[in-house]
Chain A
C-alpha cells in the first residue's frame, strides 16, 4: 500500500461529500470565534481554567467517582459500573428486561455509539430508536455519524429526502423544513409509546450528583417527559467538581460546539421525577462506562480525557475538512479522534496507529479547544509510541539515510552540494513514491542546498552574534 489509509479515503471521497463537510465545519468555526472574542474580555483564560478544572478531575477520578456514586444513590438513582462496552450494553438490556420493556427512545450519546448500543438491543429483540434528527437519519440509512456534534455533516438534503422516501416517511421532498416536520410527526408518537428513555450526560456534578444534558432539538427532554424509566450512559470522565463550575463549562460548550450562547435545552437532573410531577421517569439508572478510559488515564496522553466533545477541533482541522469523519474509521473523528481512538483500542493500538499521523501539527485544534488540550503534543507522543512498537507506516519515506547524513557534518555538507544533481534529473520519472505523489500535484522547488549556511556565514552583524547565556548553558547541558 502506497498511502496511509486516511489519505486513500480522502483521495476517493466524493466531491459532494467533501464540499458538505468543508462548508459545514468552516461555518461553525468562524461563528464560534466571533462569539467568544466579542463576549469575553479574555476567552483564552476561560479555556485555560476549564482545562485545569477538568485535568484536576481526571487526576482525581478515584476520589470523585465514589463521591458521585454516593450522591446519586442518595438522590434515588441506581448506579451501575461497566468496564467494557459489552458490560454496558448488557446492563441496559438487563434493566429493560427487568421492567418488561421492549421499546427505547434514545437521545444522542457518544458513549452509546462506542458500545453500538442500538445494534446490540435490536439483536436482542428490542426497539432502540434514535431521536436526534441527524442520528435518526443515520439510523434509517444504516450509516455512521461522521461528526460528534453534527452527525450528518456529510449528507446533503437530496440524500436525506431519498432515504425518507425509502423508509416510508413520505414522497420525495428535499426541503429541510418538510424533512424536519416529518421526523417530528413520526417521532413524537414513538416517544409516547416507548418504555425507556436513554440519554448520555454532558457533565455530572460531583457535589450534587446532577447530570447536565444539553440538546437543541428537545429530544432528550421528550425522552424524559414521555417515558417512565431513564437510563443514562455516562463516560467516567464526565465529572466536574462543583455545580459552580457548570456555568463556565456550559458557556464554553455551546459556543465551541455550535456557536450558540447557550444550547436551547439545558437540563439538570438529579434523580427520578418529583412525586408531584405526572410526567417523566419514576426510575433512573446511571451506567458509568469505562470502555478503555482507564487505559487512557494510565498513558502519557491522559489530557485527552478532559474532552467535552464539543467538536470544535473537528471544525477547524484542515485534515478533517478534506478527509471527512468516516476517514478516521472510529466513533471519534478529527483531532480528538486521532488521539482518543487509537488509545481506546488498548492492545489493538497498531490498527489505528496511523491516525495520529494524519496531521500537519498546525496547532489549530489546541487553539480552539475549550479545555485547552495540547492535541499536537499528544499526537507526537502517539507517533512515538507507534515507532517504539514498530508499527509499519505505509507511505512514509524511510528516514534512516537522512538520519545518518544529518548526524555527520562532513557527510551532510557533501550531500548538500551533491543534491544539486536533482536540478538536472527528470524528477517526474524517479521511482520514489513520496516524490511522485508530490510531483502529481505541484512541482519540486529548485535545490538550493547550502545556501542557508552561506547566508548565515556572510550576513551583516555576524560579529555581534552570540547566543544568550541561558541558551548556551542549555546547549552545554544537552552535550
Chain B
C-alpha cells in the first residue's frame, strides 16, 4: 500500500494565501454557478427572472422572509405533487469547497432532498466559516452523516453531440448565498 500525503491531490496555485470566500466565488463562477453574500441581491435576481414561487427550509425562512416582497409565494413545506410549480428552493448547506466551487449538503442540514434538487434554481445557504480549502480537507470533514453530496455548479450534460446543456434533472441555476 503506497504511502502518500494528500497534498498530492491539491490543485497547485489555487488557494495560496487567498481568502476562502474569494476563491470559492471565483471557482463557482467557472462552473456557471453564482455566489452571493447579500440576500437583497438574491431577491432582486429572483424577481428579475420572475422566479416568484419557491420552497424554503422552514428553519431559514424567518431570517429571509423580511427580504422577500408580497409578490413572492414561498412555501415552507414541500409537496411532491407540485414538483413543477417550484421555481426555486432554498436549503442549508453544511459547508463549501473553495478549490472547486462546490457546496456540501448533507441529510442533517438539508430540510428536503427534493427541495434542493427539483426546482430550477437552488439556493444553498452556507456559512462563511465553513468553507474548506480543498478536496482532501473536505473528505476529512465528511463527518458521520449517512448522506453527503457535493454539488459543483448546475446539473449538466454533454450527451448530445458534446454540447453543454444545463438543468438536466437538477437545477439549471445554482446559487450559493454565503452568510
Chain B nearest CB, measured from A166 CB (Å): 17
The residues of A that contact B167 with a CB separation of less than 8 Å are 180-181, 184
Chain A nearest CB, measured from B99 CB (Å): 8
The residues of B that contact A179 with a CB separation of less than 8 Å are 160
Pick the interface stretch among B18-26, B40-48, B63-71, B105-113. Answer: B105-113
- Please tell me if the beta carbons of B135 and A177 are within 8 angstroms of each other in the complex: no
Is the C-beta of A133 less than 8 angstroms from some C-beta in chain B? yes
- Please tell me if the beta carbons of B114 and A274 are within 8 angstroms of each other in the complex: no
**Given known contacts A40-B11, A265-B150, what 16 new A-B pairs fall within 8 Å (CB)?**
A52-B2, A133-B168, A151-B159, A176-B160, A184-B169, A216-B157, A216-B168, A221-B113, A221-B117, A247-B6, A258-B158, A269-B147, A273-B147, A277-B107, A277-B108, A278-B113
Which A-chain residue is minimally distant from B150 (CB atoms)? Answer: A266
Chain A nearest CB, measured from B82 CB (Å): 11
Which A-chain residue is minimally distant from B14 (CB atoms)? Answer: A39
- Please tell me if the beta carbons of A268 and B8 are within 8 angstroms of each other in the complex: no
Is the C-beta of A192 less than 8 angstroms from some C-beta in chain B? yes
The residues of B that contact A216 with a CB separation of less than 8 Å are 155-158, 168
Of the residues A24, A250, A277, contact of B135 by C-beta under 8 Å: A250
**Chain A residues close to B by CB (< 8 Å):** 20, 23-24, 27-28, 39-41, 45-46, 49, 52-53, 56, 75, 131-134, 137, 150-152, 156-157, 160, 176-177, 179-181, 183-185, 187-189, 191-192, 208, 210, 216-219, 221-222, 224-226, 241, 243-244, 246-248, 250-251, 258, 261-274, 276-280
Interface size of B in residues (CB-CB distance below 8 Å): 57
Give bound CA distance, A366 to B150, whole Å: 30
Which A-chain residue is minimally distant from B10 (CB atoms)? Answer: A247
The residues of A that contact B170 with a CB separation of less than 8 Å are 217-218, 221-222, 264-265
The residues of A that contact B156 with a CB separation of less than 8 Å are 216-217, 264
Give bound CA distance, A131 to B150, whole Å: 20
The residues of B that contact A277 with a CB separation of less than 8 Å are 107-108, 110, 112-113, 147
Residue from B78, B155, B159, B160 whose CB has the most chain A CB atoms within 10 Å: B159
- Please tell me if the beta carbons of A222 and B117 are within 8 angstroms of each other in the complex: yes
Give bound CA distance, A246 to B157, whole Å: 23
Of the residues B100, B139, B154, contact of A244 by C-beta under 8 Å: B139
* Contacts A180-B165, A274-B107, A277-B147; A53 near B139 (Cβ below 8 A): no
Chain A nearest CB, measured from B112 CB (Å): 5
Query: 1/0 contact trace for B167-179 toward A, CB 8 Å?
Result: 1111100000000
- Please tell me if the beta carbons of B149 and A210 are within 8 angstroms of each other in the complex: no
The residues of A that contact B100 with a CB separation of less than 8 Å are 261-262
**Chain B residues close to A by CB (< 8 Å):** 1-2, 4, 6, 8-9, 11-12, 14, 31, 78, 80, 83-84, 100, 102, 107-108, 110-114, 117-118, 134-136, 138-140, 142, 145-163, 165, 167-171
Give bound CA distance, A226 to B170, whole Å: 12
Of the residues B84, B145, B163, contact of A176 by C-beta under 8 Å: B163
The residues of A that contact B135 with a CB separation of less than 8 Å are 247, 250-251, 262
- Please tell me if the beta carbons of A188 and B169 are within 8 angstroms of each other in the complex: yes
Of the residues A45, A218, A226, A266, contact of B155 by C-beta under 8 Å: A218
The residues of A that contact B102 with a CB separation of less than 8 Å are 262, 266
Which A-chain residue is minimally distant from B97 (CB atoms)? Answer: A262
- Please tell me if the beta carbons of B107 and A280 are within 8 angstroms of each other in the complex: yes
